[in-house]
Amino acid sequence: MIRQLIFLLVLFPFFAGSQGVLPVHRYHVQKGPLDEISHIEPSFGLSLRRIGADYTGFALRLRRSSDNALADVAFDDEQGLVTANSEVTLVSDGSTTTLSGFAGASNLFVRTWYDQNGNTGFNAVQAVNNRQPRLVFNSAGTGNDKPSILFNGNSWLEINQGVQNILGGGIRGSFILWTRPTSNAPQFSFGARFPDDWRWTFHINWNDGRVYFDSAESCCAVNRSFLNSTNLNQYNSYTFIRGTGYKTARVSSAPTALNNAAAASTAKTGGAFWLGWNWPGNSQRYQGNLSEVLMFKTDVSQADALLVEDNQINFWQ
């Protein structure tokens, strides 16, 4: 009798799970991309989901449009994602409520996107209210059930770190993001650009429907672009890898025309790294949605890049 009881207790979780009684994320949140390649430390990791199991901090600091109140947003415990049920802590008095309760009928704008690598100096910040991108729910994922940050061509965030702190030797790096470009237009989407036109930058998409990747070089060298017009208004994982003598770009793990393409490089120090823009010398900024961005201070192997890409696709798509 005891053996039969033990046998039933062992089997019960399998039968219960097969009935779909519990939410899929109730007791287990999918492994994040930083867990997939934990042997490589990122320069920074920003996401609307928890991307590393060890991270216990907030996702965002948001501003409410109705009264400019600020609140720090935690990840929903069940999904490890920013949702309407996420707990928020008001900066003014430390009180808590849900994100939907905080928002009410107001729009929510991103004041700070917290670095999940735990380096406060690598948070992405925008202190000017009318330059802040907007958090939008139900704007990503196959069922439009996941959040994103909307850049409207007049908004951006800044990581106030010199490129030598973000890139290996001021040259090498891997930039992997989940984004949806919504316009073919002259736009300086991400990265760092200097007055002498040295760049570590991306145009996604330019007005010819191409993505341009200039990195650790002055504009405009050969081997710098690929056609991306068919991906307009579609989410994809974009990977940009820069080694000392080559660069690679992939879209949702598929190779592009930039596949180990030869490219000479020069190092740089200083500057800053921008999301939605790439320096104060131009007014053409990104138009699109962004849910996750990772930066590594090395040229990761394509095998490691594939682990991150598959993780992004499996979660966000």
Domains in the chain and their CATH numbers?
A: 33-316 (2.60.120.200)
Q: CB–CB of 125/109 below 8 Å?
A: no
| pLDDT value for 127 | 98
HSE-CB of 203 using CA atoms within 13 angstroms: 23
Question: How confident is the model over 147-162, as a mean pLDDT?
Answer: 97
**208-259 per-position pLDDT tens digit:** 999 999 999 999 888 999 999 999 999 999 999 999 999 999 999 999 999 9
pLDDT of residue 29: 55
Q: Which of 218, 225, 223 is nearest to 204 (CA)?
A: 225
- Residue 282's pLDDT is what? 76
pLDDT band of 139, cuts 50, 70, 90: confident
Q: Which pLDDT does position 302 carry in this prediction?
A: 93
The answer on pLDDT for 28 being more than 60 is: no
Tell me, what's the pLDDT at 280? 79
Alpha-carbon distances, residue 137 vs 30, 43, 58, 163, 291 (angstroms):
20, 27, 17, 32, 11
Alpha-carbon gap, residue 111 to 134, rounded angstroms: 9
Work out the mean pLDDT of the chain and round it to a whole number: 90
Q: Is the pLDDT of residue 25 over 60?
A: no
